[in-house]
Amino acid sequence: MPEGDTVFRTARRLHDALAGRIATRFDVRVPGSATADLTGERIHEVVPRGKHLLLRIGEATLHSHLKMEGHWDLYRAGERWRAPAFRARAIVGTAAVDAVGFDLAMVEVLPTADEDRVVGHLGPDPLSPEWNAAEAARNLASDDRAIHVAVLDQRHVAGFGNEYANELLFVRGVLPTTPASEVDTLALMETGARMIRANRDRLGRTFTGDTRPGRQTWVYRREGKPCRRCGTLILGTELGADPTAERIVFWCPRCQI
């Protein structure tokens, strides 16, 4: 599942391949930005912001969001793509490399000066040099909703998705339904930052420290299985800000109280 660490690695791969080069191909296949053409412009950088990618070219930015299924692939010029062409939503090419975004849920070309319109609402990003744990903690503490719901609100803190929310709450011993205003949110954010920073350079995400298949998580997708810490069976349900935004939630009824 693409979360902040996945987006960070994607941005780094794209930046290393594209930054400083001239765009020789630019093709956006979504309404609203399909006529944009940045061919001939210099690619400055690729920057992650929470779960968003900002590819800055000339004086414009190609903004994308991976959501659940999206991904960016890199190909040598002329190399056959590994996914069908009809799934491509954005293509940025140089003389040597093509970057192709498949199944992107959100794609838009906008002036770089207007980036705040698409990412200005985001809270602090634990993978950013400007990370501010205290600000993220204050944002969460002001929310009376369930802490699991609050952590997923990207306006409070940017980059944590559902897998991180489940694992983080287990590690801190917090029941997912606890009101965020009753949680030690600073400790929660400090732990979360350590988690996502530890995973940002790994190809295989792990929360337990064990990278073997089936051993990477404490509770996520482990409903009905014994807790790795105490042996109690893991429970599962769904939570969300509203019925259309519910996410699967897992917890240990003994370790999280």
- Known active-site residue 67: no
Determine the pLDDT at residue 160: 97
How distant is the alpha carbon of residue 67 from its chain centre? 8
Rounded mean pLDDT of 109-128?
97
Residue 182 pLDDT > 80, yes or no?
Answer: yes
Selected catalytic residue, list 3, 126, 167, 176: 3
Task: Tell me the pTM.
Answer: 0.92
Q: What is the overall mean pLDDT for the chain? A: 96
CA distance 209 to 216: 7
Q: Which two tokens stand for residue 143?
A: 């929310």
CA distance 244 to 249: 15
Determine the pLDDT at residue 14: 98
- Known active-site residue 163: no
- Known active-site residue 3: yes
Q: Which residues pair with 99 in a beta bridge?
A: 74, 92
**Percentage of the chain surpassing pLDDT 70?**
99
Selected catalytic residue, list 48, 51, 124, 176: 51
> Do 169 and 148 meet the contact criterion of CB atoms below 8 Å apart?
yes
**Percentage of the chain surpassing pLDDT 90?**
92
- Per-residue pLDDT band for 53 (boundaries 50, 70, 90) equals very high
Among 232, 208, 231, 212, smallest CA distance to 220 is for: 208
Determine the pLDDT at residue 68: 84
Selected catalytic residue, list 2, 48, 126, 176: 2
CA distance 36 to 26: 8
Determine the pLDDT at residue 1: 62
